[in-house]
Structures are given as structure tokens and as C-alpha cells.
Chains A and B, each alone.
Chain A
Amino acid sequence: MKAKPFLIAAPAALALALSGCGGSTGNTTSGGGNTASGDCSSADVFCVGLVTDTGTIDDKSFNQAAWEAVKSFEGSGATVKPIETKDPKDYANNIKQFTDQKYDAVVTVGFLMTEATRTAAEANPNTKFIGVDQFQESDVPNVTGLVFPEQNAGYAAGYLAGLMTKTNKIGVVLGQEIPPTQNYAKGYEQGSKAANPKVSVAKVYHPAGDNAFSDPAWGAGEAKKMLAQGADFIFGAGGGTGNGAIGEAAKASGAGESVYCIGVDLDQWNTVPEAQPCLVTSAEKKLTDGTKTLLDQVKDGSIKGGNFFGKTGLAPYHDFDSKIPADVKTKVDEVIKGLEDESIKVS
């Protein structure tokens, strides 16, 4: 057999080139439109940098929510700048671009950047770091992890579902079984039972590890099965997998009339528009508020290292505002207050 080495080399090189595409260093974007090039090393100029996880600042998700908080400081004369990470290999380099210019605060978004953030913080003790969704196992004095009690958000969502369900059956489709999803599920179950002891909760975790959060087709199949078995509330709590579940509920007959769904993490009315026909609310982590609070603390010097627990709650009801009975809303609001002042605790 005649060997044609170029035919092996060409596609292989192509493959390497393409898979390497992600390797380009994160570019500083001019997304903020900030041209006020104040000298960040001066004490008078407040400079805040934001490093996204692999994603963009208009991703309608975590990155955008955090960026909105940072951007809000522009009005008060601060210099703000985002760097969009293209490849996880660049986390450290992207953070370095800010620390080299002596920024006062650097916000890093996403659990995956936990280590990179801590390492950078140890090397730059004068810069304050805010790690969104980064739980700190041990304290680094200049790193504050902004974390959220998922069980509280899940509890509020479950409470709403428990009050509104007609079939007394509700379901939740989760990603991989890890502490955040377990917390959501735990809260959801306890909340729904607190509202209505007759409720039974169907709960499934995605079986595989690698793609557990990016398998919408599986999530949709699970939601379909739960709906066929009489569930009238589907809570999708697992990234893309959960989004598949609420997207399926939106397609079911009776969506928005007798079948409802609940989103997760952010107000998914905006992030998962295909779920709008059934999306009553989302179990929300108040990311923008939390980031703002911490940046204010950086400004007045009161920020502490360790973990900062942000607020959770339910996203606006949007089109369902008029369809949800007023007494249900009142009860849910009371529960959210109770969770905040810790008179209600999820065990």
C-alpha cells in the first residue's frame, strides 16, 4: 500500500490548529467603553477589573451579571475593564494584566477560577479579589468568595410549587450530584413539603460526570417522563441539562395553564427564552447585588477575606405576575424573608 503521509499530516494539523484555536490569549475588549485611563496605581482612582470564565460579558449568565455590578461603578468615576477568557489556560495571565496595572479590585467569575484567583492574590497582597461562586476552604486575607446558599433559593421555589400544584406531584431535573445541586434539591423538597405535605417530589440527577451539565436532550426526556406521570411543576437545576427540562415543559400541552417550570441561578426568563411559556420564576442567586456590595466594601476598606454569603430569592414572575394568586405571592415573600433572617432553616 502506498503511503500518502501528507494525507495524514494535513487533517491532523488541521485538527490541532482548530483545537488550538481556543488558545489565543484573552483580549481586552472595549466592551465597557471606558476610556478614562486613570492611573490605577494612584490611590485616588478606583480601578476594578473583571475576568470572565470562558464566556462573554453579554452571556446573559454569570459573567454578565457580575459585569453589570462592576460597570455600575463607572458612574462614580471608577475605571472598569473586563477581560473575556477564551481558554482556561489563560486565567492566570488575564488576572495578571490587571494586577500589573495595580488595579484596586479584581473580580473573577466562576468556580473554575478558584485556584487561579487564590494564587494571584497571594502574589499581589495589595489587590482585593472577589471570587464569584468560589467557596474558600481556607482564608486568604485579600480574597473574598461570593457564595450563595442554594438550599434557600430551592426552598423558595419548592414552596411556590407546593402552593400552586394541582396534581400534588412536582419534579426536579438536576445536573451532576454535587453539593450545589444537592442543596437545590434539598431546599426544593423541604420547601414544597412545608407548603403542602401531600406533595411528592420526583428527583433525578444526571448519571454521567463529564456532560452532566450540558446534556439538554437528556433533561428534556426526563421532564417529558415526569410530566407524563402527572407532575405539573418542573424545576430545572443543572445548567444546560436543566434548561432542556424546562424547555420541554414549555412545549407540553397546558404549558403556562396547568404545567409550570422554574429556572435556576439567574432570571432565566432572559437566558432561556424558549421556556417562557411555562417559566413562572427562577430560583435566583442575586449575583449582581452581591458583587456590588463587596465592591462597596472594597471602596470603604471594610472587606474581609473568606466567604461572603450573597442573597438568594425568586426572580420576577414576568408574564405570570397576574396569574399567580395574591395570597400565594404574599406567603412566598414571607418565606423568603424567613429564610433571610434565618427563622426558616433548611436542614
Chain B
Amino acid sequence: MEWLNRNKVWVGTAALVLVAAYVFYFINGTIAVSMFSNAWFLAVPLVLGAMVGVIGERSGVVNIGIEGQMLVGAFAAFFAAAATQSIVVGVIAGALSGLAMGAFLAFTTVKGQLDQIIAGVVINIIATGITSFYFESGKTIPRGLPNFDVPLLSKIPLIGPVFFSDGPIALFALVIVFVIHVLLFKTKWGLRTRAVGEYPSAADTAGINVIALRLVNVSLAGILAGVAGTYLSMEATSSFERGMSSGRGFLALAILIFGAWRPMRALAAALFFGFMSATASQLQASDVVNIPQQFINLLPYVLTLVVLAAAAGRVRAPGAVGQPFVKGD
């Protein structure tokens, strides 16, 4: 009851959105399902990217290299799968390359105290360089990750076909949001992580190994970026294109702020953004309004800007974000 009281704005908004979605569904089921599916399809890499940001910034490390980590993940997954003709190897390679990129950020910024923004930029430049230089056209993978229906859950009207008839990574993205939420706010690890991100010297005094925790968190978060990349090249499509992350890593950062550094709200923000994109292309394709498509396509960005402006001041980044921790400083 107390929880409901504290979160009444969010619960109310969620309920309202849900009702609106079902009203839409009963007016025109086909279009509603197709648009919400499209929204989730576009939101998956944004959600995973935002989770990388949540873990990093909650630990006190800014990660603007999500874009590059994603791109390397997409590249490694696709070419490992193409070389071995095994999609399992591809997925593992995608996740491990993400881990490597995460570790790179962790060791340069946490151990080496390199400026976090510079490290992120370095990752993005390296990623573009490597994936363009070693790119080979004409490679194929046996098939992409298959879609499947989750028993029972996929039978729910609207929610079932949208969230529970997708590929494994989309399902993973949905689950990981709840897992990270619980870990961050209900476990010892979560408390320590938040302490390290808010006030590292206090955490240090309390006996937490700040450096080690940051190293582990930022490295492991990289896996999620690698998985997001794998989604792009092996689940959403079965191909790799140079620069195929197309700014999704940067969008994920906006979603992280939009979602106030909280996993569940970031999920909602990503869905909102996905839905705006779906609306834009739907208006374009159905030709109901006769305005240039460039203006329609501005819609998601303008709305995001409006919401971000409205949320400004009410959300606050973790206290120690961007500052390297030096014991005894």
C-alpha cells in the first residue's frame, strides 16, 4: 500500500497506457498488434543499451561507448557465425566481444583513471575502424535466431503476440530489465553498487572495494551491449552492415536519462520511443496525412526532447558519475 502511494504517478500512467493500448487493439487489432510489435522490435537494442548505461552509471562510470560496443558485438557475432556456420558460436562471440569492450572501458577508466568520456569516444572510433576494415561482403550465416511462442503467455491478447512471440534475445531483454531492477534495489550487490556510484569514499570507508566493484560491473555490463549487437545482426536481421548500430547506442543514453537511471522506467522510455518511430512510419506508409515524411520522422525526436525537457530537474544522475576513484584522495 505504501509502495502504491509512493509510485502512484507511475502506476497511474502505466495503467492509462495499458487501457489506451487495449482500446486501440479493440478498434483495429491488426494495426495495433503490428505497431506495438514494431515498437518492441525497435526497442530491444535500446533497452539492452540503456541497461549497460544503468549499470555503468549506477557504479559511477559514464559509458558513451555503448554504440561502439554494440557495433563490435554485431560484427563479432555475425562473422563468428559465418565462419563456423553455427549460430550458437555467433551468440557466444557477440557476448564475449561485448565483455572485452566492457573490460577495455573498465580497465582504462577505473584502473587507469583515463577520462571516461575520452575512453568512450576511443571505443566508438576503434569499433568503427575495426568493423569497417575487417568487413567482408558476401558472408552468410546459416539462419538468424528463430522466433518462438512462449507457452500460455503468447496467448494473451495484444501482449502475447507483441512480447512473447519473438526471438530469444528480445525475450532476454524483457527479463533482464526485471532482473536488474531487483538486483539493483533489493540485493546487497545493488546497495553496494549504488553506494559506489553515489559516494565512493563513504563506500570505501565502509569496507567496500570500490575499484573491484566498478571493474566487475562495467565489464559485465559490456556483455549486454554485445548481446544488443548480436540482436541487430542475428535476430532482427541475418546480416552485417558497416555502421549498422545506426546511433542506437547514443539513443540508449538518452533513454537512460529519460528513464531516470532506473531499469523499469528505461524500458518504458524505450517502448515509448519505439512506438513513436512506429507511428512515424505508419503515418508515412498509410499516406493519411499529406506532410513531408521528414517532418513525420522528426516526431519521435521532438517528443523525446519535449519529455526530456519536462523531466529535466526532476531527475538526477548518480553523484559520482564521471569521477575516477582514488583511494585516500
Which residues of A, 3-26, contact B by the 8 Å Cβ criterion? 4, 7-8, 11-12, 14-15, 18-22
Q: How far is the CA of A63 from the CA of B322 in the complex (A)?
A: 46
Q: A221-B41, A222-B38 are in contact. Are A274 and B329 (CB under 8 A)?
A: no
Q: How far is the CA of A251 from the CA of B122 in the complex (A)?
A: 37
Contact B246 A218 (CB under 8 A): yes
Contact B132 A22 (CB under 8 A): yes
Interface residues contributed by chain A, number (CB under 8 Å):
56
Contacting chain B: which of A73-81, A100-108, A203-211, A314-322? A203-211
Which residues of A, 207-238, contact B by the 8 Å Cβ criterion? 207-208, 210-211, 214-222, 224-226, 228-230
Contact B246 A225 (CB under 8 A): no
Contact A229 B237 (CB under 8 A): no
Contact B293 A177 (CB under 8 A): yes
Q: How far is the CA of A208 from the CA of B143 in the complex (A)?
A: 28
Please indicate the chain B residues that have their CB under 8 angstroms from the CB of A11 in the complex.
Answer: 104, 108, 114, 119, 122, 126
Which residue of chain B is the closest to A253 with respect to CB atoms? B147
Please indicate the chain B residues that have their CB under 8 angstroms from the CB of A20 in the complex.
Answer: 129
A2 sits at the interface (CB 8 A): yes
- B240-253 Cβ-contact flags toward A at 8 Å (1 or 0): 01111011000000
Q: Among A55, A59, A202, A251, which residue has its beta carbon within 8 angstroms of that of B285?
A: A202
Which residues of A, 168-223, contact B by the 8 Å Cβ criterion? 171, 177, 202-205, 207-208, 210-211, 214-222
A284 sits at the interface (CB 8 A): no
| Size bin of chain B's contact surface | 35 or more
Contact A15 B122 (CB under 8 A): yes
Tell me the dominant secondary structure on chain B's binding face. Answer: helix
Q: How far is the CA of A248 from the CA of B33 in the complex (A)?
A: 17
Q: A203-B284, A208-B247 are in contact. Are A244 and B237 (CB under 8 A)?
A: yes
Q: A216-B236, A220-B237, A221-B236 are in contact. Are A211 and B243 (CB under 8 A)?
A: yes
A291 sits at the interface (CB 8 A): no
Q: Name the distance in Å between A175's Cβ and chain B's nearest Cβ.
A: 11
Contact B114 A205 (CB under 8 A): no
Q: A14-B126, A274-B238 are in contact. Are A7 and B113 (CB under 8 A)?
A: yes
Q: How far is the CA of A21 from the CA of B131 in the complex (A)?
A: 11
Contact B129 A243 (CB under 8 A): no
Q: How far is the CA of A169 from the CA of B204 in the complex (A)?
A: 64
Which residue of chain B is the closest to A59 with respect to CB atoms? B137
Q: A22-B132, A220-B237 are in contact. Are A215 and B38 (CB under 8 A)?
A: no
Contacting chain A: which of B52-60, B260-268, B275-283, B308-316? B275-283
Contact B238 A8 (CB under 8 A): no
Contact B126 A244 (CB under 8 A): no
Please indicate the chain A residues that have their CB under 8 angstroms from the CB of B108 in the complex.
Answer: 7, 11
Contact B130 A228 (CB under 8 A): no
Which residue of chain A is the closest to B44 with respect to CB atoms? A217
A240 sits at the interface (CB 8 A): yes
Contact B239 A22 (CB under 8 A): no
Contact B247 A214 (CB under 8 A): no
Contact B244 A19 (CB under 8 A): no
A56 sits at the interface (CB 8 A): yes
Please indicate the chain B residues that have their CB under 8 angstroms from the CB of A254 in the complex.
Answer: none
Please indicate the chain A residues that have their CB under 8 angstroms from the CB of B154 in the complex.
Answer: none
- B159-186 Cβ-contact flags toward A at 8 Å (1 or 0): 0000000000000000000000000000
Contact A214 B241 (CB under 8 A): yes
Q: A225-B35, A230-B30 are in contact. Are A59 and B138 (CB under 8 A)?
A: yes
Contact B112 A7 (CB under 8 A): yes
Q: Name the distance in Å between A222's Cβ and chain B's nearest Cβ.
A: 6
B85 sits at the interface (CB 8 A): no
Please indicate the chain A residues that have their CB under 8 angstroms from the CB of B247 in the complex.
Answer: 208, 210-211
- A55-80 Cβ-contact flags toward B at 8 Å (1 or 0): 11011110000000000000000000
Q: A19-B129, A207-B294, A216-B239 are in contact. Are A202 and B38 (CB under 8 A)?
A: no
Q: Name the distance in Å between A52's Cβ and chain B's nearest Cβ.
A: 12
Please indicate the chain B residues that have their CB under 8 angstroms from the CB of A21 in the complex.
Answer: 129, 133
Which residue of chain B is the closest to A213 with respect to CB atoms? B241
Contact A225 B282 (CB under 8 A): yes
Contact B293 A18 (CB under 8 A): no
Please indicate the chain A residues that have their CB under 8 angstroms from the CB of B126 in the complex.
Answer: 11, 14-15, 18-19
Please indicate the chain B residues that have their CB under 8 angstroms from the CB of A208 in the complex.
Answer: 246-247, 297
Q: Among B129, B232, B293, B326, which residue has its beta carbon within 8 angstroms of that of A2?
A: B326
Q: How far is the CA of A156 from the CA of B68 in the complex (A)?
A: 41
A93 sits at the interface (CB 8 A): no
Q: Name the distance in Å between A117's Cβ and chain B's nearest Cβ.
A: 23
A1 sits at the interface (CB 8 A): yes
B125 sits at the interface (CB 8 A): yes
Q: How far is the CA of A20 from the CA of B129 in the complex (A)?
A: 8
Please indicate the chain A residues that have their CB under 8 angstroms from the CB of B138 in the complex.
Answer: 58-60, 271
Contact A22 B133 (CB under 8 A): yes
Q: Name the distance in Å between A63's Cβ and chain B's nearest Cβ.
A: 9
Q: A224-B41, A240-B244 are in contact. Are A217 and B129 (CB under 8 A)?
A: no
Contact B118 A8 (CB under 8 A): yes
Q: How far is the CA of A56 from the CA of B134 in the complex (A)?
A: 12
Q: How far is the CA of A220 from the CA of B37 in the complex (A)?
A: 12
Q: Among B34, B133, B137, which residue has its beta carbon within 8 angstroms of that of A228?
A: B34
Please indicate the chain B residues that have their CB under 8 angstroms from the CB of A220 in the complex.
Answer: 41, 236-237
Q: How far is the CA of A60 from the CA of B140 in the complex (A)?
A: 12
> Given known contacts A11-B122, A208-B246, what 4 new A-B pairs fall within 8 Å (CB)?
A2-B326, A216-B232, A220-B41, A274-B143
24 A-B Cβ contacts within 8 A? Answer: A1-B113, A11-B119, A14-B122, A58-B138, A59-B138, A60-B137, A205-B284, A207-B277, A207-B281, A207-B293, A210-B246, A211-B246, A214-B242, A214-B244, A216-B239, A216-B244, A217-B42, A224-B34, A225-B285, A229-B30, A240-B244, A274-B143, A274-B144, A274-B238
Which 6 pairs across A and B sit closest by C-beta, in order of nearness? A207-B297, A228-B34, A240-B241, A18-B129, A7-B112, A202-B285
